[in-house]
Amino acid sequence: MPQYFLTLPHNTADEPTMAAMQEMDPAELEALMAAVEKLNNDLVAAQALVHAGGLHPPSTAITVDATGATPTHTRAPFVEASEYVGGFWIINADDEAAAIAWAEQASAAVGSRVEVRALQEEPGN
C-alpha cells in the first residue's frame, strides 16, 4: 500500500514550541488538541497511521555534511526558507485521492495548509 507524507507548514517568523502553545487561548488550544487527537484516532482506527510527530523549529537544526574529507556540522537548517515543516503524519492510503481526503481532515484539525507527497517505493514495486 502506498505511503504518503502529510506535512504541516509553519512560518519562520514565529517558531511555535510547546511552551509557546501554552500562550494560546486555553479554549482554542483545547479545541486544537482535541481535533488533532480525533484525527490521529481516526487514522489509527482505519489502520492508516504509520507515524506522526511535531518537529522542533529550524533554529535547533544541525546540518551534517560528510561528503568531503572531513565531516562538518553546522548549527542551522540545510536551507533557509520563509516556511518550514513543523509537523507531519506518515500514512498508508490506497491512492492519492485517499491521502488527500486525510489531508483535508488534517488541515481542518490544525487550521493550516497541509502538503501531501507520496513516499517513493522500492524499485520494482
Alpha helices in the chain (DSSP H): 18-21, 26-45, 96-110
At residue 5, the pLDDT reads: 97
For 48-65, what is the mean pLDDT?
A: 92
What type of residue sits at position 55?
A: L
At residue 125, the pLDDT reads: 64
pTM of the model: 0.85
At residue 121, the pLDDT reads: 85
Question: Alpha carbon 75 to chain centroid distance?
Answer: 21
- Cα angle 21, 25, 26 (rounded to 5 degrees) comes to 85
Q: Which residue has the higher pLDDT, 67 or 21?
A: 67
What type of residue sits at position 6?
A: L
- CA dihedral over 35, 11, 78, 59, signed as positive or negative: negative
Q: Compute the half-sphere exposure of residue 76: CA atoms within 13 Å on the CB side of its CA.
A: 6
The per-residue pLDDT for range 12-49, each reduced to its tens digit, is 666 666 666 777 888 988 998 999 999 999 999 999 99
- CA dihedral over 39, 45, 49, 52, signed as positive or negative: positive
